[in-house]
Structure 1
Amino acid sequence: MKIVGLSGSIVGSKTRTAMENVAKEISEKYPDVEWTLLDLADYNIQFSDGRNYLEYEGDTGYVTKTIMEADAIIIGTPIFQASIPATLKNIFDLLPVNAFRDKIVSMLVTAGSSKHYLIAEQQLKPILAYMKAQIVQTYVFIEEKDFHRREIINDDVIFRIARLVEDTALLTDTYTKIREEKEAKYDF
């Protein structure tokens, strides 16, 4: 099983910190999972210009191809100005409409205010649904008060991250088995 973590911003540290907690949970509980963290701050991504994702080279090509080859994606995103970052939206624009078909996608959101809780519901989930993702319905919402010196200090957040990872792995495994059984019914 290939799971890709996508840290959807090029600034700040909270989303990266949360995604590192995801990575730790995966390595401890699911050592057989092939985990890749794509932190957009580490890459030079071109703006989408409408080309097929396979036509992009360099960092843009690497990031899009890695996402397309994944069985599951855990998206980590901050909320800026009551919206997802443009860098994350650009990734969605670089990918084809059906990019997340047969993929499990879960979300982890960091925000400075509890008022931004519904951004994932009102902005991120509709984009993922449009792109045919099988969405893990519950997501982890982390406020600024849950961090101190680049560490998560709220035990409840740690437990919710563990549950998100568990749900993502379980749904990916289950969905893969169902799809394989369905495909086995055909003789070609």
Structure 2
Amino acid sequence: MKLVVVSAGLSVPSSTRLLGDRLAAAVGRTAAVDTQVVELRELAVEIAQNFTNGFPGQALAAAQEAVAAADGLIVVTPVFSASYSGLFKSFFDVLDPEALEGKPVLIAATGGSARHSLVLEHALRPLFAYLKAVVLPTGVYAASEDWGAEGLDGRIERAAGELAALMAGLSGGVPAGRAPRAARADAFSAVVPFEEQLAALRPTG
């Protein structure tokens, strides 16, 4: 299965990229995945040019194709002005409108304060629901004080388990790459009800 991490971190090193890497590693401990990372800071100029001329550059086109062909996505943004970054939004604005349809997406964000944790619910979840993605119930927010603190690892493992389970269900019997819409719909119906799969992932007792 192909997993793509979209990171909108701007600095090097980046806590946004670090969170994406930790989520991807957790998915890899649960399922066999081929992971690719898309660093949006490296595509910033091509994204801006795509808005003005209507054509993606070579690197941006490759990133768009990778996202469209993925079996699942991890998307991570820093919090700017209580929302996702402009670079993060701009990348998804230049994707094919149907690229994320029926695709499992794990949403995540980083910020300087825990007060911004609701960005997952008021900004990221509505965006990917609009793009017709299957947004996982568990999102992961990491504030500065969360790194090394108790709790973050548990949220990462829970979200990664949800993503691995849904990717496996949707990829069963579906051709590699971006499946036709009917095939994706059949695969999705095969794993309904999703709530039962999530219940099986939660610890008992």
TM-score band by shorter chain is 0.7 to 0.9
- Please list the CA deviations of residues 95-115 of structure 1 after superposition, one character each: whole Å capped at 9, or x if unmatched: 122221120011111111122
**Change over 3 Å in CA distance of 1:181–1:43 after alignment to 2:** closer
Q: TM-score, normalised by structure 1?
A: 0.82
Asked if 1:175 is matched to 2:170, the reply is yes
- Please list the CA deviations of residues 77-136 of structure 1 after superposition, one character each: whole Å capped at 9, or x if unmatched: 110121111110011111122221120011111111122121121111111111100110
Alpha-carbon distance between aligned partners in 1 of 2:41 and 2:128, rounded to the nearest angstrom? 22
**Change over 3 Å in CA distance of 1:126–1:120 after alignment to 2:** same
**Change over 3 Å in CA distance of 1:66–1:154 after alignment to 2:** same
Paired residue secondary structure (1:128):
helix
Match in the other structure for 1:16: 17
- One-letter amino acid of the structure 2 residue matched with residue 174 of structure 1: G
Q: Given that residues 10 and 87 in structure 1 are in contact (C-alpha distance below 8 angstroms), is that contact kept between their aligned partners in structure 2? A: no
**Percent identity over paired residues:** 26
- Please list the CA deviations of residues 16-37 of structure 1 after superposition, one character each: whole Å capped at 9, or x if unmatched: 111121232233332x211111
Match in the other structure for 1:186: none
Instruction: Give 1:51 deviation, angstroms.
Output: 7.3
Alpha-carbon distance between aligned partners in 2 of 1:179 and 1:173, rounded to the nearest angstrom? 14
Task: Give 5+ residue unaligned stretches, structure 2.
Answer: 173-184, 191-205
Q: Given that residues 97 and 130 in structure 1 are in contact (C-alpha distance below 8 angstroms), is that contact kept between their aligned partners in structure 2? A: no
Paired residue secondary structure (1:170):
helix
Paired residue secondary structure (2:5):
strand
- One-letter amino acid of the structure 2 residue matched with residue 82 of structure 1: A
Equivalences for residues 1-188 of structure 1 within 5 A: 1-11=1-11, 13-30=14-31, 32-44=32-44, 45-47=46-48, 48-49=50-51, 55-147=55-147, 153-177=148-172, 179-180=186-187
Task: Give 5+ residue unaligned stretches, structure 1.
Answer: 148-152, 184-188
**Change over 3 Å in CA distance of 1:19–1:89 after alignment to 2:** same
- One-letter amino acid of the structure 2 residue matched with residue 38 of structure 1: V
Comparing 35-44 with 73-82, greater Cα deviation is found at: 35-44
